Every structure is written in structure tokens, then in C-alpha cells.
Structure 1
Amino acid sequence: MSETDARDGDQVTARLDRLNEACRAAPQEIEPQIALWSAICSLDEWVFVNRGTAEQPRPYALAAEAGHLVCIYSTPERARAGAIANGLVAEGEAVPMFSTPLPSALDWVLGLAGAGVSGATVDYPQLGAWTPLPNLARFRQT
């Protein structure tokens, strides 16, 4: 990874961190949540920890009270940290991951509803904000 890519990734995560804090500061307010998910849906790509194979990727998902939540990561660094924190790999091991450019990633995640996914979470456990798939569909570019 180049120094420029690292700086860009740091700027992305810093912005998402700020937006996430605004959501936590006003949990009943919808505007901060819309701003956060707008930023997430404006990324160039979404990164996923792969629990399947290279030929048949399957993104890591959480079993939550709301149903299965697919884990979207804003950067490969956040995906790696999430995989380690969630016990998917040990520190120092390679993390299988894949990325998908937006807006294709959004359509692909929405298609996971047929596999029992009910929502998405971002940068879990660093952030952990989540939204139901029907809300995420509102960010689809027309």
C-alpha cells in the first residue's frame, strides 16, 4: 500500500468515526444516521471479510437480534482489525477478503436478503453502526 493510499484510508476512517460519534451523541435523531450511511454509500468500494472461497465469496455476517447483519468494512485495515477482534483469524495470519466497487456493492448486499441477511453493519466492532436492508436500499443511486 502506498503512503497516499494509507493517508486516504485514514481520512475515510476519520470521517466515518466523526459521523459515527454524531450518531452516538444523538441516537434518536435520523439526520446523523443518514449522513453516516450516505458517506458509507459514497465510498469507492466496500471491503468484506471472506468466509467462503475465492470462487464463491461469502461475506462475514453477525447473528444479531435484528437478524443476520453483513459486515461492510470501509478499508482493508478495518476489515483486518475486525477479523482479528472477532476471532476469525489470529494476529499475524492472513485475512481472506474481497472488495466490490460501489454502486455494485450496494446492489450485491441488497441481494443477500434472499440468503437471510436483514441488515448491514459497518466497520464492526470499531464502529458497529447498523441499518436494516430496506433503509440501505434508499441510498441506491438511480
Structure 2
Amino acid sequence: MALAATATFAVSANAGSHNFVAADVNDPVTLRINIMQNVGAATGLVSGMMKGNVPFDPIAAQAALSTINTASLGLSGLFPSGMDENMRSTAGPAIWADADSFKSAIAKFIADTGAAKSSPPATVEELQAAFAIVGANCQSCHKAYRIKR
């Protein structure tokens, strides 16, 4: 059920993307790639607003935070055991070697993105404060669990 809901999000959220990969509800790697592309796009928008390269828009900022939170909710089901040797993604072996720590990192990401989403930023300063916590989650998880290909 969670995988099907995640697939729906991946397809609908990526419909306008130039890098769209057809989502197969039986392929967690493709779903994960699509979802993380959505997170990357949302993060890019937020980053642009925080740097002043994109005009701050509270509705767009809230949509970006909601996108990131929605993506976080489906992540835990997209790293099934046996996928640790898959060469199509940048998921590192530590995900499976230390699964409990990885699950804790996802739980923290869900909580922190949920908190950011539940307090819509009215100013760029509020967005910066909320995203400092969210961005720290992204950075720590990528450092511990992502590999370069």
C-alpha cells in the first residue's frame, strides 16, 4: 500500500519534469530516484529564495516544504533488503549494513520536515530558519548513506 501511494506521488509530482522516469510500482529504485528528484527540485527552489536568486513566495515555499515532507513519508519502504547491490542509484551499503540508524535518520527527517511544513514561513528569514534544520538532515544522510557513482 505504501509503495503504491509512493508511486502515485512519484508519477504525479514528476509529470512536468524533463528527467521523468516512468514509475513502476514494483521497482523501488525507480520510485526512489523520482522522489529524490522531486526533493532536489523543491530544495533548489528553496535555496534560490534563500539566496535571493528567486523572489520569496510564501505559497511556493510552503509547497516546496510540503513536497519534501511528502517524499520523506515514503522513503523507508524504498530501500528493501536485497537492493544493496543495485548500481542504478547512489544508495550506499551503509543503508543496509546499519539499517536501524538509517531508519532513525528517516524518522528524524519525517519529523523535521513535518515541523517545517506545519509552520508556513511568512518571510525569507523564517524559511531560512526552517530549512536550516531540514537541510542539515539532507546533508547528514547523504554523507552517511549516499555514494558517488
TM-score normalized by the length of structure 1: 0.34
Q: Relative to total residues, which structure has the larger helix share, 1 or 2?
A: 2
Q: State which structure, 1 or 2, has the greater radius of gyration over its C-alpha atoms.
A: 2
Q: Relative to total residues, which structure has the larger strand share, 1 or 2?
A: 1
TM-score normalized by the length of structure 2: 0.33
